[in-house]
């Protein structure tokens, strides 16, 4: 039997009796196939037959290497490394199979680097990051320059014989250098070197100290100037550039430099002083020179605003007696107090023109005037109050007043005792107008209406002594007149 795998029979020649080979047809070869599966065929061939076979195409990524022939006897074959094989069968069974191998390109040899590294004096490090063969005579080199913080790359070059290597390519950020060099160069024939410069940025400190030139990331102490009298430090601000202020509200702090110039400024504010307004509004914190409005609270019952008092500290009032006052702050804490006084007393309400207990002739015109306490207040403050004459009543006769003067005249034609009662309405000033608050008080007097007035001596002395004294006085007056006349005649 003849077994073959991954190959095709091209021809079979059987020797005839005379020794002349006879080539079988394709059909005859197919008829000799006993079994076929998974690329393997089993055929029955005659002893001494010559078989020509060709290996199947190699799988992807592989190539034909040689034939593998297995037989217990001797087998005459052509070259086993040729994809087409010819062999003559002996008396033993034969098995044939092509052998494939992976395709591997011949890689150029990478020789030891022919490059010398000259590290920069400061600011960075050069490292060889890759070497790979281009062909059998040339290598490609890649070097990386890592700068330290605050340094900038001035140059990064590969030189050969004192000149820049023509094949060198520098990345845009100047950190990667790539070039090719012949393997035949002497060690150190190519030199890689770099130079870097320490980069500084300018810090300007307005109204303070600490400005100068500094590296990125450097922490700089900045100090605000001493404030002028009446002022205190407020805060720092970054006017331009970038960077970070450790504490914006500390007069001395640190500033961390960034990658550019920066300007910082110290700011100041007027020192605020505390104003406390007792019995009023306007309290707060204000710098010296601030003009503050102060207003007293609405007076308690029975009281009116009187004046302002400087309780403590120094302060300038525009008018201590003004309800709506302004004060100018000075450089100290201050306490001011609104003071109140007693308001009008309703006991001071009056009725004039008629006397309590007096007699008046019947049918005589009687005139009386009512005056309320506080009615003389022509410049009221909020909370001031007064007692306004509102109405009157005499017996069954009454009347009212709507405006000053609060005077009434009348004639009483009947004899008798009469009581005059005047009602006073309490008005409170709200800052714009007087308004009644619903409180009323009254004042009364009693008088008599008669047909004839009683004689009034005005004294309890006896009438006879009075007459004698009067006569004596009359005689003295007559005597004086006579004396004066005589003197004139002389």
DSSP-assigned states of every residue in 132-193: EEEETTEEEEEEEEEEPTTEEEEEEEEEETTEE-TT-EE-TTS-EEEEEEETTSPTTSEEEE
pLDDT band at 395 (very low <50, low <70, confident <90, very high): confident
| Mean pLDDT, residues 130-134 | 88
Q: Which residue has the tokens 């009483």?
A: 412
Question: What's the DSSP call for residue 433?
Answer: -
In terms of Cβ atoms closer than 10 Å to its own Cβ (0-12, 13-18, 19+), residue 164 is exposed
| Mean pLDDT, residues 384-412 | 94
Tens of pLDDT, residue by residue over 158-172, are 998 878 888 889 999
Q: Which fold has domain 272-342?
A: Immunoglobulin-like (2.60.40)
pLDDT band at 412 (very low <50, low <70, confident <90, very high): very high
Question: In terms of CATH architecture, what is 346-450?
Answer: Sandwich (2.60)
> Token pair of 197, please?
């410069």
| Mean pLDDT, residues 471-484 | 34
| Mean pLDDT, residues 134-144 | 88
Report the alpha-carbon distance of residue 368 to residue 59 in Å, rounded.
Answer: 142
| Mean pLDDT, residues 52-58 | 87
Report the alpha-carbon distance of residue 371 to residue 401 in Å, rounded.
Answer: 12
Residue 121, CB half-sphere, CA atoms under 13 Å: how many?
A: 6
Angle at 383 between CA 379 and CA 384, to 5 degrees: 45
- Could you give the 3-state DSSP secondary structure of residue 484? helix
CATH 2.60.40.10 domain residues, the chain: 346-450
Least confident of 262-276, 288-302, 310-324, 468-482: 468-482
How many C-beta neighbours within 10 Å does residue 107 have? 10
CA 49 to chain centre: 100
Q: Which fold has domain 115-198?
A: Immunoglobulin-like (2.60.40)
Report the alpha-carbon distance of residue 157 to residue 97 in Å, rounded.
Answer: 58
Per-residue pLDDT at 485: 32
- Could you give the 3-state DSSP secondary structure of residue 489? helix
Task: Return the higher-pLDDT residue of 315 and 361.
Answer: 361
Report the alpha-carbon distance of residue 219 to residue 209 in Å, rounded.
Answer: 14
The answer to whether the CB of 419 falls within 8 A of the CB of 406 is no
Report the alpha-carbon distance of residue 123 to residue 379 in Å, rounded.
Answer: 85
Report the alpha-carbon distance of residue 144 to residue 480 in Å, rounded.
Answer: 148
**Of the ranges 22-31, 178-187, 284-293, which is most confident?**
284-293
Report the alpha-carbon distance of residue 414 to residue 353 in Å, rounded.
Answer: 19
Whether the model pTM is above 0.75: no
C-alpha distances in Å from residue 113, one per residue of 107, 166, 386: 17, 18, 113
Tens of pLDDT, residue by residue over 19-48, are 456 677 777 777 778 777 777 787 777 777
Task: Decide if pLDDT at 305 tops 60.
Answer: yes
Least confident of 80-84, 174-178, 305-309: 80-84
The contacts of residue 255 (CB under 8 Å, 6+ apart) are 203, 210, 219, 220, 222, 243, 244, 245, 246, 262, 264
Per-residue pLDDT at 70: 79
Report the alpha-carbon distance of residue 177 to residue 118 in Å, rounded.
Answer: 14
**Of the ranges 63-67, 135-139, 392-396, which is most confident?**
392-396
Report the alpha-carbon distance of residue 173 to residue 169 in Å, rounded.
Answer: 12
DSSP state string for 259-325: SS-EEEEEEEEEPEEEEEEETEE--EEEETT-EEEEEEPPPPTTEEEEEEEEEES-EEES-TT-SSE
| Mean pLDDT, residues 74-97 | 81
Per-residue pLDDT at 481: 30
pLDDT band at 73 (very low <50, low <70, confident <90, very high): low
The answer to whether the CB of 113 falls within 8 A of the CB of 86 is no
Task: Decide if pLDDT at 424 tops 50.
Answer: yes
Task: Decide if pLDDT at 371 tops 70.
Answer: yes
Q: Give the H/E segment covering residue 227.
A: none
Per-residue pLDDT at 459: 46
Task: Decide if pLDDT at 358 tops 90.
Answer: yes
Per-residue pLDDT at 99: 87
């Amino acid at each position: 039997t003849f077994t073959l795998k991954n190959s095709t029979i091209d021809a079979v020649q059987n020797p005839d009796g005379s020794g002349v080979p006879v080539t079988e047809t394709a059909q005859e070869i197919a008829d000799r196939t006993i079994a076929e599966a998974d690329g393997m065929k089993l055929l029955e061939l005659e002893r001494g037959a010559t078989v020509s076979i060709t290996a199947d195409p190699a799988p992807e990524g592989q190539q034909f290497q040689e034939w593998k022939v297995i037989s217990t006897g001797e087998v005459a074959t052509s070259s086993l490394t040729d994809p087409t094989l010819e062999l003559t069968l002996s008396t033993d069974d034969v098995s044939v199979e092509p052998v494939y191998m992976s395709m591997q390109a011949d890689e150029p040899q990478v020789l030891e680097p022919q490059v010398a590294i000259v590290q920069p004096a400061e600011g960075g490090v050069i490292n060889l990051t890759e070497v790979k063969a281009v062909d059998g005579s040339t290598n490609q080199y890649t070097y990386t320059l890592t700068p330290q913080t605050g340094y900038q790359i001035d140059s990064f070059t590969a030189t050969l014989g004192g000149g820049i290597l023509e094949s060198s390519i520098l990345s845009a950020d100047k950190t990667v250098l790539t070039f090719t060099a012949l393997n035949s160069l002497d060690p150190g024939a190519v030199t890689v070197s770099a130079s870097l410069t320490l980069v500084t940025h300018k810090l300007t400190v307005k109204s303070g100290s600490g400005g100068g030139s500094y590296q990125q990331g450097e922490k700089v102490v900045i100090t605000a100037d001493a404030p002028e009298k009446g002022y205190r430090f407020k805060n720092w601000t970054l006017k331009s550039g970038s960077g970070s202020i450790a504490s914006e509200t500390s007069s001395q702090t640190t500033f961390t430099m960034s990658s550019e110039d920066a300007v910082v400024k110290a700011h100041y504010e007027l020192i605020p002083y505390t104003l406390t307004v007792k019995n009023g509004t306007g309290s707060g914190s204000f710098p010296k020179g601030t003009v503050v409005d102060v207003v007293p609270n609405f007076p308690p019952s029975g009281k009116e605003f009187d004046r302002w008092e400087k309780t403590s500290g120094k302060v300038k009032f525009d008018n201590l007696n003004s309800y709506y006052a302004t004060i100018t702050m000075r450089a100290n804490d201050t306490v001011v107090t609104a003071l109140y006084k007693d308001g009008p007393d309703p006991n001071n309400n009056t009725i004039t023109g008629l006397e309590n207990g007096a007699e008046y002739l019947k049918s005589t015109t009687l005139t009386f005037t009512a005056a309320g306490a506080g009615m003389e207040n022509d410049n009221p403050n909020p909370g001031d109050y007064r007692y306004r004459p509102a109405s009157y009543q005499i017996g069954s006769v009454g009347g009212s007043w709507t405006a000053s003067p609060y005077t009434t005249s009348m004639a009483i034609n009947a004899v008798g005792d009469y009581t005059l009662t005047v009602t006073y309405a309490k008005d409170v000033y709200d800052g714009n107008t007087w308004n009644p608050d619903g409180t009323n008080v009254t004042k009364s007097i009693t008088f008599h209406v008669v047909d004839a007035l009683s004689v009034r001596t005005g004294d309890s002395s006896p009438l006879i002594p009075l007459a004698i004294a009067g006569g004596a006085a009359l005689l003295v007056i007559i005597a004086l007149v006579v004396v004066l006349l005589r003197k004139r005649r002389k």
